[in-house]
Amino acid sequence: MTLFKPNLQVRKLKVMAGGLCAYFAEFHEGVNIISGQNASGKSTVMDFIFYGLGGESIPWKNEALLCTDVLLEIEVNAAPLTLRRAINENRRNPIQLYWGSLAGAEAASYAQWETYPYQRSASKESFSQVLFRALGLPELRGESAANITMHQILRLMYVDQRTPHDEIFRAEPFDTQLIRETVGNYLCGVYSDGLYDAQLELKSVEANLDRAVSDLRNLFSILGKTGQSGANTTEFLRAEQATVAEEISQLRQRLVEIKSARRSQPVDGDATATRISTLRAELTSSQQQFATKTARLTELELEDKDSSQFISELERRIQALEDSESTRNYFGRVNFNFCPCCFSKIDDIVGSDACPLCKNQADSDGVASQVLRMKNELALQRAESLKLQSSRATQMQTIRRELPEIRRKLDKAEAEFHALTVEWSAPQEQEIEVVSAQIGALNQRMQQLLEYQRLAEVVEGLQDERARLQARHSELADQITALENRDSDSQHTANKAIFDELISLLRNDLPRQDEFISADVVAWSFSENRVSVNGQRQFSESSMVILKHCFHLALLAASSKLPFFRLPRFMLLDGIDDGGQELERSHALQNAIVSLSESLTSSHQIIFATSQIASNLATSSLVVGGTSTVDQKTLSLH
């Protein structure tokens, strides 16, 4: 069968009660039937699958809580993975992951398992992130920038018995229309990978733009109250500083000339020597500080360049792994008839998985798992490198901001030191006082200009940030509009496929509901969580059960025919006998599921549970795990 990605299938389910196996079943591609009497544990098995894949909010039965762990061997895009999750009443339990089959997982050491929490942190990814990456799904953000989890997408892939029959999504306490709309459209492949990121960034840009405008408004309001206009630019203030600095330089030169002309003995030599010593110490400290900061900045810049190259190399390796995997999947096994070195004939080992050249055993499942593991490790290294690079950028920005002030203090100390150490003769004391006073006033003016410059830099920085955010806002708005327009064709195609499949399934139902047999128009809304037929939403209880299951089957069938769907071609269906379903109608639905599966040409999996299995299916290979009864329940706990 054709493999459309993402593709998720359950291969083995093992439920442990301490050291004992309470349940074990092997699953296959296509339809899998869990059969048994009412109250024999079928729904508990379905809950175990949902929970093992990352589902939450399960009201465990007493028998289920006697179990300790659920192990699932799954195939993710045809590569085997094994998941293990502890069974208890705690919320958001982590998942342990082994990159290989269940047999390999049970023989593996503890160190070969990787544990991922439900929720991501600054130092650890969540299991949803890892499974999304393994499936090839882009991360999806919902309300408040929270990432959509495996639990959220499984809500559309698991039809359980507890949820009202007129609702599409599995019910949960804190549900919102936005989450349902986001997940539904995402799994139907309607939105492009970059749309959610663009929408999220647009919200952030709008918030930052509002903050920048508010800061500018408040700043100008304060400046107006203090009598400052805030209109001086940094360029103007730098020119003013240069003029004042030139005046100070000239006055200091004049002061040197006056002191040189003084012929009397230096006055208060001890005080002058003390001041010179103090200045020398200040100069030494400032020079060391300036040199240390400069050296650190250079070191950080070199590390930043090296880190950028390392990140690029990691991305190249990730791409190389994906290219290698694609090449291997495309070419498959290459057989050699003659040795490429000595041209001797090579005998083929019939029925063996050994390499045709070196004769070593080759495990294709293991190779695929290792590729996924290596891609995961490279992604973790890239995330850590990006985090370190961001920290270095913050340090470089801080140093670049501190260096001008250190340089100013150093220049001031050098100028004063130079003035004090030049030999002088006593000039007219009155002229010395006048020149010194002028230098002091100019120094004060220089300090004021520096304060104004810092203020102007803040204002200009806010203005530049406002302009940048306004430009980015326009870019994102245009980008979102373009993506939404581009995706309108995909949305129409997806809706048309679901529409056609649902109409076909409803018309093939037994003639019990007139609207189904004459169905011409079907409509659904993920946000409102409803499906309608010919404009009506409410039918008999048994017909609502049929409608709900037919919609999910139509969703699966459409995803198996259109490769752009993000639904992993997987569906869990429980409660097809609910709503007082008559036996004949239930059997017709079961056979419709099998017929639909057999008509699909791409890889998929449907697991459904029934207490009244059709006679032609009861002894087929579609039944997994045996048939349970109230006396021999699914869980063996004794």
CATH of the domain at 611: 3.40.50
Domain end, chosen from 435, 454, 487, is at 487
The answer to whether position 525 is within a domain reads no
398 and 432 both lie in a single domain: no
Q: What is the pLDDT of residue 133?
A: 94
14 and 90 both lie in a single domain: yes
The answer to whether position 531 is within a domain reads no
402 and 442 both lie in a single domain: no
Domain end, chosen from 458, 487, 516, is at 487
226 and 138 both lie in a single domain: no
pTM of the entire predicted model: 0.68
29 and 17 both lie in a single domain: yes
21 and 34 both lie in a single domain: yes
611 DSSP 8-state letter: S
Q: Which domain holds residue 123?
A: 8-152+566-618
Q: What is the pLDDT of residue 425?
A: 38
Percent of the chain exceeding pLDDT 90 equals: 45
Pinpoint the alpha helices (H) of 508-540: 514-517
261 and 271 both lie in a single domain: no
The answer to whether position 550 is within a domain reads no
120 and 66 both lie in a single domain: yes
The answer to whether position 60 is within a domain reads yes
pLDDT in tens, 509-554: 999 999 999 999 999 999 999 999 999 999 999 999 999 999 999 9
What is the number of structural domains in the chain?
3
Nearest 5°: CA angle at 432, between 427 and 436?
Answer: 155
275 and 210 both lie in a single domain: no
The answer to whether position 497 is within a domain reads no
> Do the Cβ atoms of 610 and 586 come closer than 8 Å?
yes
135 and 220 both lie in a single domain: no
Tell me the C-alpha distance between 110 and 304, whole Å.
37
| pLDDT beneath 50, residues of the chain | 144-145, 263-269, 424-427
The answer to whether position 520 is within a domain reads no
The answer to whether position 537 is within a domain reads no
24 and 67 both lie in a single domain: yes
Q: What is the pLDDT of residue 426?
A: 37
- 41 burial level (CB within 10 Å; 0-12, 13-18, 19+): buried
The answer to whether position 547 is within a domain reads no
Domain end, chosen from 396, 415, 434, is at 415
Q: What is the pLDDT of residue 351?
A: 55
Phi-psi region of 395 (alpha: psi -120 to 50; beta: other; left: phi over 0): alpha
Tell me the C-alpha distance between 412 and 443, whole Å.
9
> C-alpha dihedral over 6, 375, 391, 200, to 10 degrees?
-10
94 and 122 both lie in a single domain: yes
Q: What is the pLDDT of residue 14?
A: 97
Q: What is the pLDDT of residue 7?
A: 97
